[in-house]
Chain A
Amino acid sequence: MLNYTPKEMVEREALVINPCKTCQPVGALYAALGVHGCLPHSHGSQGCVAFHRMYLTRHFKDPIQASSSSFTEGASVFGGGSNLKTAVKNIFDLYDPDIVAVHTTCLSETIGDDLNALLIDITPTLSEGKYIVHANTPSYFGSHIHGFFNMVNGFMKYLSVSTGTSNGKLALFPGWLNPGDYRELKRLMTQMNVPFIMLPDTDGTVDTPTTGEYTMYEKGGTTIEEIKSLGDCKSSLGIGLTISAPSVGFLDKKCKVKGDTIPYPIGIDATDAFILKLQEFSAEEVPASVENQRGHLVDMMVDTHQYTYEKKVAIYGDPDFVIGMMALCLELGMIPKYCITGTPSLTFEQEGKSLLEKYGVKEECKVQAATQLNTTTDLFLLHQWIKNDAVDLLIGGTHGKHIARAEDIPLVRAGFDVIDRYCHSYFPVVGYEGAMRMVEKITNALMDYQDSHCEEKDVEMVM
């Protein structure tokens, strides 16, 4: 497995091998799935949207719908305006969404289709109560993370308004997480008595129940009215320094709603920070149920520490996810030996390094994000590092499974994308609940490894 990856480190500046990111439009598509009654639309050639639907379907094992402008060579030379107009008519005729969320591909971006101008033409042709919004999502800039926040901001650009009357709510930008995480965030906000509007929210749209009936627009998703009302929120909170800070900034700029951004609430400390933010908003006591859950988590961390302490871990994936997992691992006494993301992120290395300092990690650890100029922070690089100085555990998505097998390292699957396991998207990694789940997964992975790899005389009945 991966037999041609040499141990000797090689310098690369142009060839990306086994990337730790994908391209913008799929992020926009996912964000749009978190809006109720929305059909995502890809303005480009149809191959992109086929791939993006495939990618998300494989992760969620759920229907993922989106349409395409289906560019031909002619449109690619002369512009895709008429393709978009035709598409919009057909979409409303056949699929009747409340809103169409258009994103672009490297094709329409390179030829310079002016979506602002096209939508000015198209919008007046829509029926009452129907909407169309857009975001530019060039695949040759940033990653799927950029596509996600560009689309979130696209919704706000078209819809959010400040009426001058506060709705008293918290605007929450939850970043790119699974529906199980979105549910957990909403549960905590409800427990903390914080009225909120969350954008996006795929709880109910990409984890739909099997009922014997298929409906294209399921019950979940942020409503159009809620997106409009974001402009009247009392304040905003972004979760994920890389993915949500741009949305906090955008809402402030457009509607003068002030806000803060905190890391993903993964692990105990980051969840505490989230709870404190919610308490700041509600100005109420933290309820006993939340405190109790936190206590359960601490209990687990104390109980399991002898299996996790000073174990070395490599974490890869999206920047906010990796930072979150890094924090959780440090709390468990683990050493986050290698932490990488393929997404260019200015805050990633800074945050990662300050976490290492905070926990006084003596071991030399690498925290590295790709940059716009050097994109070769990828799984090939991670594998080379591991070959030179091994780790005890991998945490990340499915694409690391070859490294796990090649080097015989247990892998805990989490983040995006997990396409070779089932059920995961229903359960959280965020909050105390999510941390408990991860503590169980991490500990079990390490203990399973011990059981299967120790000498026979050392197999323990009780552990």
Chain B
Amino acid sequence: MVLHGNELRDKVLEKYSAKVYRNRKQHVLSIDPEASNEITANVRTIPGIITQRGCCYAGCKGVVLGPMSDNAIIVHGPIGCSFYTWGTRRHKQVETDRHGEHADCYVEYCFSTDMQEPNIVFGGEKKLKKAIEECMAIYKPKMLSICSTCPVGLIGDDIHAIAKWAREEYPGLMCIAFSCEGYKGVTQSAGHHIASNQIIRFIVGTGDHKPQKKFSVNILGEYNIGGDGWEIERILNRCGIEVVSAMTGTSCYRDMKNAHLADLNLVQCHRSINYVADMMKDKYGMDWIKVNFIGVNATKKSIRAIGAYFNDPELSARIEEVIADEENTIADEMEYYKSKLKGKTAAIYVGGSRSHHYQLLLQDLGMSTVLAGYEFAHRDDYEGRRVIPDIKVDADSKNIENLKIEADENLYNPDRITPEHRAELEANEDIDLNDYQGMYPDMEEGSIIADDLNHFETEEFLKALKPDVFFSGIKDKFVVQKAGMLSRQIHSYDYQGPYTCFQGAARFGHDLVMGLYVPAWSFIKAPWKNQATLVGKLGGEV
């Protein structure tokens, strides 16, 4: 019997011990329109379960800070943490000039204090200071970050005092410390929050370069994986919209300083950057809208929402022209890919946002999603921000600092749009003004949601659901492919991309067709395994 929905969920979970079952049943559910669908998320990982999750350091340094081109990041710790985030996340960057100001690009470099035993015993502050001096002598960066790793918090090195020393020692240097020890919180998510806090505390609001165009935005939570951010910027620029900063994918310290002078924030990855969006709303009165540039229809909806926010007929007309032109360019290709992919199913397990976004792109291609999950999203990413008041911060995450933000005396400006227009926008169902509905509304009844999907559950659910493709990360990819199922990486895009907007959608379609139709899959079973090809005599036979 083929099981679905809740029956399947119960069947998979019943193999657990009682204790693990009690825990996991709160993280796995089948979408049921009649039920509350409340999920448990953002809680500690079960030891030994083979999670795919990473740590706070990865969320802070690897995800949010790493992409900033002109930010020299010194990882304070033993060598591993720094080594593993060297070039492995595909946030593309180059040196740039803007408004006559140059920004270096350090992404090919990996900086570490490479702590040794004596640094653990006697403290690593002296070595860190020396490392900063050496970095300043060689690179003269305008921004320097210090990221702490597990042992730093335990031995009590005061990296914030050292950052302060560096700011005083080197006038013009923005030196910021990030206490993102790996054991903080329960996942990468804690690191996003820690990075966001320091971005608001030290960077945004310190520049004074006003946007030059009439309409300007920041793109928050877009890390330019495989060039995603550049493609979004190309489309927005075509529409006549200036991108002041893109945090942090195509951006840098030079640009992020001026972010508060833009008109509107666009939030792509809600999980990692909603803190910045919220704090900028409180501090500068800047609205944000949830956008999604993954998928043709999602992109159209997002650009139109930006147009609706600015409420300018000329802009809206230009937006429609760009949409028509871009769609026309890919129409034939999309039709072909759709013909090859229609009716196929997918399972998606990614970090904190793509599991939702990619479902919309798959819908464009005629596919449906039978299972989706996040490594480290919170309840609001699943269920929508309306549940935020009900979320209790548990003991494992309570030490992550929550900044108290007050309106900036000089820069707070709530009047970017009129109250009447605001009321209109709030009533418009196609626009998520300062809001995010979460992944649920785009999921079909009966599909499985799995938070912190572990190796055991991955194997069991894939065996039962038999999707045509599993979108996940590098640690899952080959497990799944050994079993004869395509797995495409949706963190690294398998070294391809960009996948954003119109051309990105076509490129994604191409890559998916390529993956599913490569002849190699047909050779998995050796011919002598399928049929009796043995014509000789077996030993002993006469």
> Bound pair: A and B?
yes
- Asked whether any CB of chain A lies closer than 8 Å to the CB of B202, the reply is no
Give the shortest distance, in Å, between B128 (CB) and chain A (any CB): 7
Contact present for B154 and A76 (CB under 8 Å): yes
Residues 177-211 of B at the A interface (beta carbon under 8 Å): 181-186
Q: Which residues of A contact B120 (CB under 8 A)?
A: 106, 110, 140
- Asked whether any CB of chain A lies closer than 8 Å to the CB of B519, the reply is no
Contact present for A14 and B131 (CB under 8 Å): yes
Give the shortest distance, in Å, between A178 (CB) and chain B (any CB): 16
- Asked whether any CB of chain B lies closer than 8 Å to the CB of A302, the reply is no
- Asked whether any CB of chain B lies closer than 8 Å to the CB of A223, the reply is no
Q: Which residues of A contact B78 (CB under 8 A)?
A: 23, 106, 138-140
Contact present for A48 and B79 (CB under 8 Å): no
Give the shortest distance, in Å, between B503 (CB) and chain A (any CB): 25
Closest to B137 in A: A10
Task: Pick from A53, A88, A110, A140 the residue with the most CB of B within 10 Å.
Answer: A140
Contact present for B83 and A22 (CB under 8 Å): yes
Contact present for B130 and A47 (CB under 8 Å): no
Q: A73-B396, A91-B48, A107-B182 are in contact. Are A23 and B83 (CB under 8 A)?
A: yes
How far, in angstroms, from A86 to B79 measured CA to CA in the complex?
29
Q: A72-B44, A72-B183 are in contact. Are A54 and B88 (CB under 8 A)?
A: yes
- Asked whether any CB of chain A lies closer than 8 Å to the CB of B483, the reply is yes
Contact present for A110 and B150 (CB under 8 Å): yes
Q: Which residues of A contact B525 (CB under 8 A)?
A: 212
- Asked whether any CB of chain B lies closer than 8 Å to the CB of A19, the reply is yes
Residues 1-24 of A at the B interface (beta carbon under 8 Å): 1-4, 6, 10, 12-19, 21-23
Q: A47-B55, A48-B80 are in contact. Are A17 and B111 (CB under 8 A)?
A: yes
Give the shortest distance, in Å, between A142 (CB) and chain B (any CB): 9
Contact present for A57 and B84 (CB under 8 Å): no
How far, in angstroms, from A22 to B46 measured CA to CA in the complex?
27
Residues 471-487 of B at the A interface (beta carbon under 8 Å): 474-475, 477-484
Contact present for B116 and A140 (CB under 8 Å): yes
Give the shortest distance, in Å, between A215 (CB) and chain B (any CB): 8
- Asked whether any CB of chain A lies closer than 8 Å to the CB of B139, the reply is yes
Stretch at the interface among B101-109, B241-249, B290-298, B416-424: B101-109
Contact present for A111 and B154 (CB under 8 Å): yes
- Asked whether any CB of chain B lies closer than 8 Å to the CB of A258, the reply is no
Contact present for B56 and A47 (CB under 8 Å): yes
Contact present for B183 and A4 (CB under 8 Å): no
Q: A86-B47, A139-B78 are in contact. Are A4 and B139 (CB under 8 A)?
A: yes
Give the shortest distance, in Å, between B425 (CB) and chain A (any CB): 40
Contact present for B49 and A67 (CB under 8 Å): yes
Contact present for A94 and B49 (CB under 8 Å): yes
Contact present for A63 and B478 (CB under 8 Å): yes
Q: Which residues of B contact A210 (CB under 8 A)?
A: 481-482, 484, 524
Give the shortest distance, in Å, between B495 (CB) and chain A (any CB): 9
Task: Pick from A1, A13, A58, A94 the residue with the most CB of B within 10 Å.
Answer: A94
Q: Which residues of B contact A2 (CB under 8 A)?
A: 108-109
Could you say which of B74, B151, B477 contacts A110, with CB atoms under 8 Å apart? B151
Could you say which of A57, A70, A141, A212 contacts B483, with CB atoms under 8 Å apart? A212
- Asked whether any CB of chain B lies closer than 8 Å to the CB of A372, the reply is yes
Contact present for B483 and A106 (CB under 8 Å): no
How far, in angstroms, from A70 to B452 measured CA to CA in the complex?
13
Contact present for B455 and A72 (CB under 8 Å): no
Q: Which residues of A contact B110 (CB under 8 A)?
A: 17-19
Q: Which residues of B contact A68 (CB under 8 A)?
A: 45, 47-48, 51
Residues 396-436 of B at the A interface (beta carbon under 8 Å): 396, 399
- Asked whether any CB of chain A lies closer than 8 Å to the CB of B82, the reply is yes
- Asked whether any CB of chain A lies closer than 8 Å to the CB of B119, the reply is yes
- Asked whether any CB of chain A lies closer than 8 Å to the CB of B361, the reply is no
How far, in angstroms, from A361 to B138 measured CA to CA in the complex?
34
Closest to B473 in A: A54
Contact present for B130 and A375 (CB under 8 Å): no
Contact present for A57 and B396 (CB under 8 Å): no
Give the shortest distance, in Å, between A359 (CB) and chain B (any CB): 33
Could you say which of A45, A70, A214 contacts B46, with CB atoms under 8 Å apart? A70
Q: Which residues of A contact B119 (CB under 8 A)?
A: 140
Could you say which of A25, A53, A83 contacts B47, with CB atoms under 8 Å apart? A83
Contact present for A375 and B116 (CB under 8 Å): yes
Closest to A87 in B: B48
How far, in angstroms, from A58 to B494 measured CA to CA in the complex?
11
Could you say which of B53, B151, B524 contacts A46, with CB atoms under 8 Å apart? B53
Contact present for B48 and A89 (CB under 8 Å): yes
Q: Which residues of A contact B56 (CB under 8 A)?
A: 47
Give the shortest distance, in Å, between B535 (CB) and chain A (any CB): 24
Contact present for A76 and B116 (CB under 8 Å): no
Closest to A22 in B: B83
Closest to A209 in B: B482
- Asked whether any CB of chain A lies closer than 8 Å to the CB of B235, the reply is no
Give the shortest distance, in Å, between B358 (CB) and chain A (any CB): 21
Q: Which residues of B contact A10 (CB under 8 A)?
A: 134, 137-138
Could you say which of B115, B133, B455 contacts A140, with CB atoms under 8 Å apart? B115
How far, in angstroms, from A6 to B74 measured CA to CA in the complex?
19
Q: A10-B137, A47-B56 are in contact. Are A26 and B80 (CB under 8 A)?
A: yes
Contact present for A213 and B109 (CB under 8 Å): no
Q: Which residues of B contact A15 (CB under 8 A)?
A: 74, 111-113, 130-131, 134-135
Residues 251-303 of A at the B interface (beta carbon under 8 Å): none
How far, in angstroms, from A143 to B482 measured CA to CA in the complex?
32
Q: Which residues of A contact B57 (CB under 8 A)?
A: 47
- Asked whether any CB of chain B lies closer than 8 Å to the CB of A90, the reply is yes
Closest to A402 in B: B108
Task: Pick from B58, B108, B181, B186 the residue with the most CB of A within 10 Å.
Answer: B108
0 or 1 for each of A123-137: is its CB under 8 Å from B? (1 = yes):
000000000000000
How far, in angstroms, from A211 to B521 measured CA to CA in the complex?
10
Could you say which of B20, B154, B395, B479 contacts A107, with CB atoms under 8 Å apart? B154
Residues 106-161 of B at the A interface (beta carbon under 8 Å): 106, 108-117, 119-120, 127-128, 130-131, 133-135, 137-139, 149-151, 153-155
Contact present for A16 and B112 (CB under 8 Å): yes
Could you say which of B108, B128, B186 contacts A72, with CB atoms under 8 Å apart? B186
- Asked whether any CB of chain A lies closer than 8 Å to the CB of B459, the reply is yes
Q: Which residues of B contact A376 (CB under 8 A)?
A: 114
Give the shortest distance, in Å, between A326 (CB) and chain B (any CB): 24
Q: Which residues of B contact A58 (CB under 8 A)?
A: 88, 474
Contact present for B86 and A87 (CB under 8 Å): no
Could you say which of B113, B183, B456, B479 contacts A73, with CB atoms under 8 Å apart? B183
Q: Which residues of B contact A380 (CB under 8 A)?
A: 109
Contact present for A73 and B184 (CB under 8 Å): yes
How far, in angstroms, from A26 to B47 measured CA to CA in the complex?
19
Contact present for A213 and B482 (CB under 8 Å): yes
- Asked whether any CB of chain A lies closer than 8 Å to the CB of B355, the reply is no
Q: Which residues of A contact B139 (CB under 8 A)?
A: 4
Give the shortest distance, in Å, between B398 (CB) and chain A (any CB): 9
- Asked whether any CB of chain A lies closer than 8 Å to the CB of B509, the reply is no
- Asked whether any CB of chain A lies closer than 8 Å to the CB of B50, the reply is yes
- Asked whether any CB of chain B lies closer than 8 Å to the CB of A428, the reply is no
0 or 1 for each of B28-64: is its CB under 8 Å from A? (1 = yes):
0000000000000000111111111111111000000
How far, in angstroms, from A212 to B524 measured CA to CA in the complex?
6
Give the shortest distance, in Å, between B341 (CB) and chain A (any CB): 22
Give the shortest distance, in Å, between A77 (CB) and chain B (any CB): 8
Closest to B58 in A: A47
Q: A14-B130, A76-B154, A212-B483 are in contact. Are A6 and B138 (CB under 8 A)?
A: yes
Give the shortest distance, in Å, between B141 (CB) and chain A (any CB): 9
How far, in angstroms, from A380 to B82 measured CA to CA in the complex?
15
Give 27 A-B contacts (CB < 8 Å), ordered by A residue: A4-B139, A10-B134, A13-B134, A15-B112, A15-B135, A23-B83, A47-B54, A48-B55, A57-B475, A70-B47, A72-B186, A74-B395, A76-B154, A76-B181, A86-B46, A87-B48, A89-B17, A90-B20, A90-B47, A90-B48, A107-B150, A107-B151, A139-B77, A211-B524, A214-B479, A372-B116, A399-B86
Known: A25-B80, A51-B54. 9 other contacts (CB 8 A): A44-B150, A54-B475, A58-B88, A65-B50, A73-B183, A73-B184, A90-B47, A90-B48, A94-B48
